Chains A and B, each alone.
Chain A
Amino acid sequence: QVQLMQSGAEVKKPGASVKVSCKTSGYTFTGYYIHWVRQAPGQGLEWMGRVNANSGGTKYAQKFQGRVTMTRDRSTTTAYIELSGLRSEDTAVYYCARVPIVVGTPRDYGMDVWGQGTTVTVSS
């Protein structure tokens, strides 16, 4: 079955970097984008960006430009997000989710499978 399995919880100090992985299985990795969405405690969902699992091309939310890097490894069907310059406001659960790559249409199909989430805590 389709699965997105994320790495475990992280505790980091302000100013440090964190890298979270999203290991995929059960589908054709290169047919999808991997998106990253975070959720601060008690708050809503916030989109951070996406990586094209086929080409490696990325699109980031302006808010995170310069601090975030999203990559993928086709050989291990794993996607990664790295966030640098951590501050307390980055404390959140980070989710990966897949969206099919569809060309020739302005429609899209939503994030149909999500990882279980990775808790990142930033504290001195």
Chain B
Amino acid sequence: SYVLTQPPSMSVAPGQTARITCGGNNIGSKSVHWYQQRPGQAPVLVVYDDSDRPSGIPERFSGSNSGNTATLTISRVEAGDEADYYCQVWDTSSDPSYVFGIGTKVTVV
């Protein structure tokens, strides 16, 4: 199966920039999506197809994808950004076809 690698956790100060990586074999050839999950809530799509934002998601959230690494960048981090963030891809040649990373817990300190 296709494997996505994320750091388990990271800390960032308010106002700074958080960069969350998602590693995978030739991930640059796939569409990568990012989800934010606050405690006790359902996931929310914050970036889709590498770098597009759904309506209602602040411009502070951006994404990139090249080679073997995709990155979610959160600029001007706020306390409300504290959450788990998951990357996800669709790999037609893999089982399961839809793969999630293990998630990165972002703590705002």
Shortest beta-carbon distance from A96 to chain B in Å: 10
The answer to whether A111 touches B31, judged by C-beta atoms less than 8 angstroms apart, is no
B11-19, B20-28, B40-48, B74-82 - the one binding chain A: B40-48
Closest-by-CB residue of A relative to B54 is: A112
The answer to whether A111 touches B33, judged by C-beta atoms less than 8 angstroms apart, is yes
Closest-by-CB residue of B relative to A65 is: B95
Query: Do A45 and B48 contact each other (CB < 8 Å), given the known contacts A35-B98, A107-B31, A111-B35?
Result: no
Indicate if A115 sits at the interface (CB-CB under 8 A): yes
Closest 3 A/B residue pairs (Cβ): A110-B33, A110-B48, A61-B96
Which of A59, A106, A109 makes the CB contact (< 8 A) with B48? A109
Question: Interface size for chain B: under 10, 10 to 19, 20 to 34, or 35 or more residues?
Answer: 20 to 34
Shortest beta-carbon distance from B43 to chain A in Å: 6
Can you list, as one digit per residue, whether each of B98-109 has a CB less than 8 Å from chain A (1) or not (0)? 111111000000
Q: Using a Cβ–Cβ cut-off of 8 Å, how many residues does chain A contribute to the interface with B?
A: 24
How far is A110 from B65 in the complex, measured between Cα atoms in Å? 15
Using a CB–CB cutoff of 8 Å, the interface residues on chain A facing chain B are 35, 37, 44-47, 50, 59, 61-63, 95, 97, 106-112, 114-117
The answer to whether A114 touches B95, judged by C-beta atoms less than 8 angstroms apart, is no
Known: A50-B98, A110-B48, A114-B42. 19 other contacts (CB 8 A): A37-B43, A45-B86, A45-B100, A47-B96, A47-B99, A47-B100, A61-B95, A61-B96, A62-B95, A63-B96, A106-B92, A108-B31, A108-B49, A109-B49, A110-B45, A111-B35, A111-B43, A114-B43, A116-B42
Q: Collect the chain A residues with CB atoms within 8 Å of residue B96's CB.
A: 47, 61-63
How far is A50 from B92 in the complex, measured between Cα atoms in Å? 13
Closest-by-CB residue of A relative to B90 is: A108
Which of B33, B37, B97, B101 makes the CB contact (< 8 A) with A59? B97
Shortest beta-carbon distance from B87 to chain A in Å: 10
Indicate if B88 sits at the interface (CB-CB under 8 A): yes
Query: Do A112 and B95 contact each other (CB < 8 Å), given the known contacts A47-B100, A107-B31?
Result: no
